[in-house]
């Protein structure tokens, strides 16, 4: 990807998408689940419907894939397998959303796509059409999809047109803020696979703009102006992280940058892009929450801080921290990249959904 980008042949993120294309499979039903590609609210989705007769109304999950808002597809083999298993094992309707991607479609378009699908699905007539219990619907996502799931759950609280309340939100190693990109997890895991610090900074900057000045400022953690200092309370890891995650790191407070970047790219401070920046009054109204974090992951501290803030707001939270795992571990459940850690974490996540949705 770097080579074709330097040669001017293709955008770096479009080069990375070749992974997506190689991993994408067609919608294929089996004896347990009917799988179809369709559209909800003019947004492509892959729909999974259990074949076995329901014992009453079914639960449902609206899922958003990861990929830094620039990559990924609901039809990737790992996502397809996970959705099929959840649909079959939990007798659940699964709506996996193919939202539009950056750099062609920057913030807020990916958020607007997933929000419109969720809002459409939560209509009583749509839930009834698919035999879904309106009291048993959750949103879920991994990485950038976890960001979108958290943002959707928050936005639904403010939408008077939506009468159905979410039962839960499931956030798998989510990206939740771009305010402080020098957290202990960014320091500890800067060059570890699958997600390095430079790549995560590239994803964040591409979500908002093609202007390289934002990426450069993010790389030095000098992209937030002093007039936004009040927001750093929401990412102050000196008290939001457990001691074992802070380790020997010393908190020195933010280093401020020019106000021009935030004025040009206000999404940086928008809770629809950075759900960790929402106030406590909003957080306390959120549904029960499952957050998976992985020790060897730059995004570890985003999830851990959100878990702490939600608990402090009175939300029922399960923070499942995997000491031996890395970012995107759940994707490694298929040969030849079939890892025990991926299966273990996936099973724990499915068990939580089974017990709480």
Residues with catalytic function: 143, 297, 327
Query: What's the chain's length in residues?
Result: 357
Crossing angle, helix 77-89 and helix 340-356, to 10 degrees? 40
Pick from 139, 25, 133, 33: which is nearest to 86 by CA? 33
Crossing angle, helix 12-23 and helix 197-208, to 10 degrees? 100
Residues 6+ apart with CB under 8 A from 225: 256, 257, 258, 259, 261, 262
Pairing of strands 288-296, 317-326: parallel
Q: Could you give the CA distance from residue 168 to residue 352 in angstroms, rounded to a whole number?
A: 10
Q: What is the dihedral of CA 125, 129, 130, 136, to 10 degrees?
A: 30
Query: Is the bond leading into 336 cis (omega within 30 degrees of zero)?
Result: yes
């Amino acid at each position: 990807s770097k080579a074709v980008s330097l040669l001017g042949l293709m955008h770096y993120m479009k080069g990375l998408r070749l992974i997506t294309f190689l991993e994408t499979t067609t919608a294929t039903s089996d004896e347990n689940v009917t799988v179809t590609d369709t559209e909800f609210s003019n947004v492509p989705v892959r729909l999974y419907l259990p074949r076995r007769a329901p014992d009453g109304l079914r639960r449902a999950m609206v899922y958003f894939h990861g990929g830094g808002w620039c990559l990924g597809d609901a039809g990737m083999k790992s996502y397809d397998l996970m959705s099929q298993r959840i649909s079959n094992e939990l007798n659940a309707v699964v709506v996996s959303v193919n939202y539009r991607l950056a750099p062609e479609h920057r913030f807020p378009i990916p958020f607007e796509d997933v929000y419109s699908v969720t809002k459409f699905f939560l209509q009583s007539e749509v839930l009834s059409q698919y035999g879904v219990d309106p009291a048993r619907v959750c949103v879920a996502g991994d990485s950038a999809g976890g960001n979108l799931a958290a943002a959707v759950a928050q936005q639904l609280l403010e939408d008077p047109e939506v009468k159905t309340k979410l039962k839960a939100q499931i956030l798998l190693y989510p990206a939740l803020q771009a305010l402080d990109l020098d957290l202990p997890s960014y320091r500890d895991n800067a060059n570890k696979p699958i997600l390095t610090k430079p790549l995560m900074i590239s994803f964040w900057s591409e979500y908002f703009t093609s202007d390289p000045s934002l990426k450069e400022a993010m790389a030095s953690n000098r992209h937030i102006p002093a007039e936004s200092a009040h927001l750093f309370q929401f990412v102050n890891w000196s008290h939001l992280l457990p001691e074992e995650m802070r380790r020997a790191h010393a908190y020195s407070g933010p280093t401020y940058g020019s106000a021009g970047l935030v004025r040009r790219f206000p999404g940086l401070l928008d809770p629809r892009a950075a759900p960790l920046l929402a106030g406590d009054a909003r957080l306390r109204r959120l549904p029960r929450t499952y957050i998976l974090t992985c020790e060897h992951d730059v995004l570890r501290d985003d999830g851990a801080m959100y878990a702490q803030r939600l608990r402090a707001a009175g939300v029922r939270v399960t923070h499942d921290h995997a000491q031996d795992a890395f970012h995107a571990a759940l994707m490694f459940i298929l040969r030849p990249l079939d890892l025990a850690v991926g299966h273990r974490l996936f099973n724990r996540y499915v068990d939580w959904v089974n017990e709480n949705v």
